[in-house]
Amino acid sequence: MNIILIGDPVAHSRSPKMQNAAFAHLGLDLSFAAVHTPLADLPLRVAALRGPDYLGANVTLPHKQAVIPLLDTLEPEAARIGAVNVIYKGAGGALVGANTDAPGLLEDLREGGMALAGRSVVLLGASGAARAAAFALVGAGLARLTIANRSLGRAADLVANLRGSSADQPPPDVRAIALDDIALPAIIAAADLLINATSLGWHADETPLPNPPVSAHTLVYDMVYRETRLLREAAAQGARTRDGAGMLVHQGALALTRWTGRTAPIEIMWAAFRSALTP
């Protein structure tokens, strides 16, 4: 049985080595492979998952929102977030979309010693990964969330979604701002946590925010699971930093349970992830 990673690009991914090590440890006859999938090929790629040779998929950028209309149903949290990173088969072979990015992020922040209650957070980006982070953060009791994006309209749409989903529990102070807004540096300087959920930093020495105005009280978290320019420049200014390796492992563990019903061997997955970083 096959499970695939759907995205564009995917060659950089450590998920295949991590998941295949977990399957082997559990004695499961499963194979995980990354499959490069441009947007034009996404409908056919998802349709192929309905075949008997497939158990499901991970979904990575830029398809976490585009994949939703191609599925049969969503878990409630994925529907609320509006982004999917896991596909598995439900009753009758229905394709079910889930989001394990949100709990994966919260677990990694917890392991990193970051208590969110009452804190001020700046989130860079408004794509599928950012949506998962935003909904997770709002549910964690923080005091203020500022979403900064190149397109102010997309950030404002996400803020509206967050407010609209919290009728039974008023959200914290949530606001949208453009990345080039002159007010952003002061907001970042006062924040306890800065998260990069953009794609800048994945494939080149790019950054969404050169020389971020952070200090020792700030944790700078990059969803990219390696050292990035953002993290280097933040560390040079005295900030604490953390990359997205833990988020990758924890979302992958939750995905494995969706596909197999088994408890994921976290330490095996961590060891495989670390070995994948070695040339």
Catalytic residues: 64
Rounded to 5 degrees, what are φ and ψ at 244?
A: -90, 20
Instruction: Name residue 31's beta-bridge partners.
Output: 2
For residues 232 and 201, is the Cβ–Cβ distance under 8 A?
A: no
Beta carbons within 8 Å of 151's beta carbon, 6+ residues apart:
126, 178
How far apart are the C-alpha atoms of 246 and 261, rounded to whole Å?
Answer: 21
Name the token pair of 174: 């949530």
Residue at token pair 């970051």 = 114
CA 132 from centre of chain: 6
In degrees, rounded to 5, the angle at the alpha carbon of residue 65 between the alpha carbons of residues 246 and 93 is 90
For CA atoms 258, 260, 261, 265, the dihedral sign is: negative
Residues belonging to the chain? 279
Name the token pair of 54: 């497939």
How far apart are the C-alpha atoms of 82 and 62, rounded to whole Å?
Answer: 13
Per residue, the 3-state secondary structure of 194-235, as one string, reads: EEECCCCCCCCCCCCCCCCCCCCCCEEEECCCCCCHHHHHHH
For CA atoms 257, 14, 131, 110, the dihedral sign is: positive
